[in-house]
Amino acid sequence: MNSENQIQTILAAQRAFFATGQTLNLQWRIAALKKLKTAILNYETELTTALTQDLHKPLLESYSSELVLVINEINYALKNLKKWGRPQKVPASLLTFPSQNYVVKEPYGVVLVIAPWNYPVQLALAPLAGAIAAGNCVILKPSELAPATATVLERLINSTFDSEYITIITGDAAVSQGLLEERFDKIFFTGSPTVGRIVMEKAARYLTPVTLELGGKSPCIVDKNVDLEVAAKRIIWGKFFNAGQTCVAPDYLLVDQAIKKPFYAAMQKYLIKFFGTNPETSPDLARIINLRHFQRLETYLASGKIIWGGRSNPEQLYIEPTIMEITDLESPVMQEEIFGPILPVIDYTNRNEIFNIINRHPNPLALYVFSKDKAFVVTILKRIPFGGGCVNDTLSHLTNHHLPFGGRGTSGIGNYHGKYSFEVFSHSKAVLKKGFSCDLPQKYPPYKETHRLIRKFLLK
């Protein structure tokens, strides 16, 4: 299935199918979205079982952050697709009067969607839903690091769609590289900044537009003027959801020194409440995806003073939810995105320190600030560039399909969710339509002194 020739055969079939114009029909797309929704519901148990196999994902997390998010995306597209797909009228300008002007959303054509392993259902199927809504043919490449989920996704897609319309190609980085050798009309990639660079380089050869949903070190600021209990509860939840393997998880905390001690106590209280005193036996904590990532995370455990946690078990790919105090910003845990259940805490005495620390890893995918001080919150939101985030909460911004989801700089290019998912897979085609009467004679040569009129009326 995955040799160069086979990829080219599938691509040629998809190009031919796209050229028939069937996907331009909104009813076609609506029917395809309904098929996808039915398939997901039919495969519900297989998907959640696979997520348990790959990540030991708690059932609630599988539903809330994988299946429900995708079904919501599909439902929202189904509700709005006719409206989104209509040409949007815009006013004529002084220079184009009289004319009708509108923007037509047209599909790119054949698009490639590459997904990561941490939310292997959501991050494969939510972009797929957007690509279908916008009228594209799709080649979907799930992550090889969540193999049970990739296998179920393969069956789900193969039993639902003809391969000339939507194809899934499973495999590792080499397969992904093989795909990137080909010309697509759009590439939507979710994964690490390192691979994001490779994707963009490959796409550049064909000038293929890319959307890159990447990661980074997302800070979480805890001001002294705060409800400690609520802040601790929401941070512990957001950090240890999916065992910290979330692109928008709070990567590290910046805590006002004045409240550091009571804040540690509040976080410990919620760690015990959520996962018990031996979290290894908790059914509500996911596992690390594989031994390589486990070993990477284990080395971080020596990076600072452990305040809570610190135990691990390679056989279970288990790392205990860990809070760690950091005094040296050069320590290994502060160099890369952690992507695991380890939460470094750095304290500050002067609020200006916050900006310097965050600027060591600029343009994070997410930022969280907990404070009752409105002016402080406004300053943080204004002065620090980041993809998206929350005030007094974590993760939740990505669950609102009215908000665009994406990064900036090293955390990504472009965004999606809700209507943005339709737009990210559509080209905005500008159309100006004129009748045959009513023409301004001055715009045609010989121009004579017309420039004087232009200068007088338009150059101001």
Show which residues are catalytic.
213, 247
Q: Is 169 in the site for ligand NAD (CB under 6 A)?
A: no
Q: How far apart are CA 144 and CA 392, in angstroms?
A: 36
The amino acid sitting at 435 is G
Q: Is 101 in the site for ligand NAD (CB under 6 A)?
A: no
Q: How far apart are CA 274 and CA 406, in angstroms?
A: 29
Q: Is 173 in the site for ligand NAD (CB under 6 A)?
A: yes
Nearest position to ligand NAD, beta carbon: 215
Q: Is 115 in the site for ligand NAD (CB under 6 A)?
A: yes
Q: How far is the CB of 228 from ligand NAD (least distance, A)?
A: 28
Q: Is 244 in the site for ligand NAD (CB under 6 A)?
A: no
Q: How far apart are CA 153 and CA 325, in angstroms?
A: 41
Q: How far is the CB of 144 from ligand NAD (least distance, A)?
A: 5
**Could you give the residue ranges of the DSSP H alpha helices within 24-146?**
26-42, 44-55, 59-62, 68-85, 122-133
Counting residues that bind ligand NAD (by CB under 6 A) gives: 29
**Pairing state between β 366-370 and 388-391:** parallel
Q: Is 144 in the site for ligand NAD (CB under 6 A)?
A: yes
Exactly one of 177, 290, 335, 399 binds ligand NAD (CB under 6 A); that residue is 177
- Do 243 and 319 touch, CB atoms closer than 8 A? yes
* Alpha-carbon torsion (150, 65, 310, 306), positive or negative: positive
> Which part of the chain contacts ligand NAD (CB under 6 A), choosing from 26-34, 41-49, 137-145, 158-166?
137-145
- Measured from the CB atom, the residue of 74 and 115 that comes closer to ligand NAD is 115
- Measured from the CB atom, the residue of 191 and 341 that comes closer to ligand NAD is 191
- Measured from the CB atom, the residue of 144 and 164 that comes closer to ligand NAD is 144
Q: How far is the CB of 389 from ligand NAD (least distance, A)?
A: 13
Q: How many whole angstroms from its chain centre is CA 124?
A: 11
Phi, psi of 199 (to 5 degrees): -60, -45
> Which part of the chain contacts ligand NAD (CB under 6 A), choosing from 21-29, 47-55, 114-122, 258-266?
114-122
Q: Is 412 in the site for ligand NAD (CB under 6 A)?
A: yes
Phi, psi of 168 (to 5 degrees): -110, 135
- Measured from the CB atom, the residue of 270 and 294 that comes closer to ligand NAD is 294
Q: Is 170 in the site for ligand NAD (CB under 6 A)?
A: no
Total length of the chain: 460
- Do 434 and 99 touch, CB atoms closer than 8 A? yes
Helix (H) or strand (E) holding 211: strand 210-213
Q: How far is the CB of 115 from ligand NAD (least distance, A)?
A: 6
- Do 401 and 72 touch, CB atoms closer than 8 A? yes
* Number of Cβ atoms within 10 Å of the Cβ of 375: 8
Q: Looking up tokens 């979205």, which residue turns up?
A: 33
> Which part of the chain contacts ligand NAD (CB under 6 A), choosing from 32-40, 143-151, 221-229, 417-425?
143-151
Residue 424 per-residue DSSP state: H
Residue 63 per-residue DSSP state: I
The 200-239 site mask, x for binding ligand NAD (CB under 6 A), equals: -------------xxx------------------------
Measure Cα distances from 120 to 163, 250, 355, 387 in Å: 21, 20, 34, 21
> Which part of the chain contacts ligand NAD (CB under 6 A), choosing from 20-28, 97-105, 127-135, 191-199?
191-199
- Measured from the CB atom, the residue of 163 and 410 that comes closer to ligand NAD is 410
Q: Is 130 in the site for ligand NAD (CB under 6 A)?
A: no
- Measured from the CB atom, the residue of 339 and 420 that comes closer to ligand NAD is 339
Q: Looking up tokens 């955390």, which residue turns up?
A: 411
Phi, psi of 318 (to 5 degrees): -105, 130
* Alpha-carbon torsion (167, 168, 171, 174), positive or negative: positive
Q: Is 116 in the site for ligand NAD (CB under 6 A)?
A: yes
- Measured from the CB atom, the residue of 172 and 229 that comes closer to ligand NAD is 172
**Angle at the Cα of 79 (from 125 to 23), degrees rounded to 5?**
60
Residue 161 burial class via C-beta count within 10 angstroms: exposed 0-12, middle 13-18, buried 19 and up: buried
Please choose, from the candidates 356, 331, 359, the residue with its C-alpha nearest in 3D space to the C-alpha of residue 345. Answer: 331
The 311-350 site mask, x for binding ligand NAD (CB under 6 A), equals: --------------------------x-x-----------
- Measured from the CB atom, the residue of 194 and 278 that comes closer to ligand NAD is 194
Exactly one of 69, 128, 156, 365 binds ligand NAD (CB under 6 A); that residue is 365
Site residues (vs ligand NAD, CB under 6 A): 114-118, 123, 141, 143-145, 172-173, 176-177, 180, 190-192, 195, 198, 213-215, 247, 337, 339, 365, 407, 412
